[in-house]
Amino acid sequence: MNQLFTLEGKTAIVTGAASGLGLAVSECLHAAGAHVALLDIDADALSKVAGSLGERVKTAVVDVSDRSLLRATIDSVAETHGSLDIVVANAGVTAGPGYLTDAGQINAVEDERWDRVVEVNLSSVFVTMQAAAKHMKQQRSGRIIAVSSVAGLRSEVMCGYAYAATKAAVINLVRQTAMELAQYNVMVNGIAPGPFRTNIAGGRIRQPEVEAQFASMVPLGRIAEPDEIKGLALLLASPASSFMTGSTIAVDGGIMAK
Ligand SMILES: NC(=O)c1ccc[n+]([C@@H]2O[C@H](COP(=O)([O-])OP(=O)(O)OC[C@H]3O[C@@H](n4cnc5c(N)ncnc54)[C@H](O)[C@@H]3O)[C@@H](O)[C@H]2O)c1
């Protein structure tokens, strides 16, 4: 049974690894035996996380919108370890509030904010997949996991336009990449989280009234803790999911079943 979920000897990269879901995913890949390279824009948070994980961890301060640095960092991890087995494109940012507030309405969306969210939430996911694919095609194995959102599966009253658009685009990027890479034994899947208690949007979801608003959308009646992403992340990274590719799976307390 343990063979289904072991990542012993594997090399993994996680973007946005210093907080929230990226941190939880990094912890679980590490606990399953992988060497994990943690990429994040936040140097202080990154060094704290690396200190708490201990051995088999590398860190790189990378803004994922810096495409050449992102590509070079992924190449360097693959070359140092001699293989690249798991890549999690997780880094993402909010696009501000949804259309129920004035600031979230279509005519209030500013070009600069739109462009930054597209760069971080979509273009960086593509570049991460592209850089990973280069190595994984050659070695004829690998797992790519992209973090989308339930906001990419349907309209979402609590999220801004650029967030909804980029998270939907990531889901089709997963399908498209999965089709090309299937012949190389590289599996590509997505995770679509519902509301989790993380630091996104400055930790806005931790405010009691905001938490209550999100919880009211969830059939299980609450928001999730970051640890609750670990099971699906481990499944998609491990031998247990050897016949899964091209899917994006919701971890949403039942939201998508409504
Ligand atoms: N928390 C939720 O409710 C929720 C729901 C659905 C999807 N998601 C997605 O989960 C992913 C992780 O978000 P989170 O909720 O854990 O947020 P978080 O803010 O707690 O963590 C995000 C991490 O990404 C890093 N980051 C941000 N911009 C970066 C950049 N340009 N380059 C490198 N690193 C960068 C941050 O420093 C932080 O460590 C995001 O893609 C987010 O859209 C979150």
> Which tens digit of pLDDT belongs to each residue from 214-258?
999 999 999 999 999 999 999 999 999 999 999 999 999 999 999
Task: Tell me if 18 sits within 8 A of 49, measured CB to CB.
Answer: yes
Beta strands in the chain (DSSP E): 11-15, 35-40, 57-61, 86-89, 142-147, 186-193, 248-251
DSSP secondary structure code for residue 182 in this structure = G
Percent of the chain with pLDDT over 70: 100
Query: Residue 190 C-alpha to ligand 1 middle, in angstroms?
Result: 15
- Ligand 1 contact, 65 CB (< 6 A): yes
pLDDT digits (tens, 9 = 90+) for 46-98: 999 999 999 999 999 999 999 999 999 999 999 999 999 999 999 999 999 99
Catalytic residue among 99, 161, 163, 184: 163
What average pLDDT score do residues 20-24 get?
Answer: 98
Query: Residue 202 C-alpha to ligand 1 middle, in angstroms?
Result: 10
Instruction: Among 13, 14, 21, 147, name the best residue to mutate to test ligand 1's pocket (greatest count of ligand atoms within 8 A of Cβ).
Output: 21
* Closest-lying ligand 1 atom to the alpha carbon of residue 200: 19
Say if residue 51 is exposed, middle or buried (CB neighbours under 10 Å; 0-12, 13-18, 19+).
exposed
Instruction: Among 90, 198, 222, name the best residue to mutate to test ligand 1's pocket (greatest count of ligand atoms within 8 A of Cβ).
Output: 198
Query: Residue 2 C-alpha to ligand 1 middle, in angstroms?
Result: 30
- Ligand 1 contact, 92 CB (< 6 A): yes
Residue nearest (by alpha carbon) to ligand 1 atom 40: 92
- Ligand 1 contact, 109 CB (< 6 A): no
Residue 1 has pLDDT above 90, yes or no: no
- List CB contacts of 50: < 8 A, sequence separation 6 or more: 38, 57, 58, 59
Residue 2 has pLDDT above 90, yes or no: no
What region does 245 belong to: left with phi over 0, alpha with psi -120 to 50, or beta?
beta
pLDDT of residue 46: 97
pLDDT digits (tens, 9 = 90+) for 88-110: 999 999 999 999 999 999 999 99
- List CB contacts of 109: < 8 A, sequence separation 6 or more: 95, 160, 161, 162
CATH superfamily of 2-257: NAD(P)-binding Rossmann-like Domain (3.40.50.720)
> Catalytic annotation on 161?
no
- Ligand 1 contact, 160 CB (< 6 A): no
User: Given pLDDT bands bounded at 50, 70 and 90, which one contains residue 113?
Assistant: very high
Own/partner pairs for 61-68, CB < 8 Å, 24+ apart? 62/15, 64/15, 64/16, 64/39, 64/91, 64/120, 64/124, 64/127, 64/128, 65/116, 65/119, 65/120, 65/123, 65/124, 67/123, 67/124, 67/127
pLDDT digits (tens, 9 = 90+) for 171-223: 999 999 999 999 999 999 999 999 999 999 999 999 999 999 999 999 999 99
Q: Is the pTM of this model over 0.95?
A: yes
- Ligand 1 contact, 199 CB (< 6 A): yes
What's the rounded Cα separation, in Å, for the pair 243 and 174? 15
* Closest-lying ligand 1 atom to the alpha carbon of residue 64: 32
pLDDT of residue 65: 98
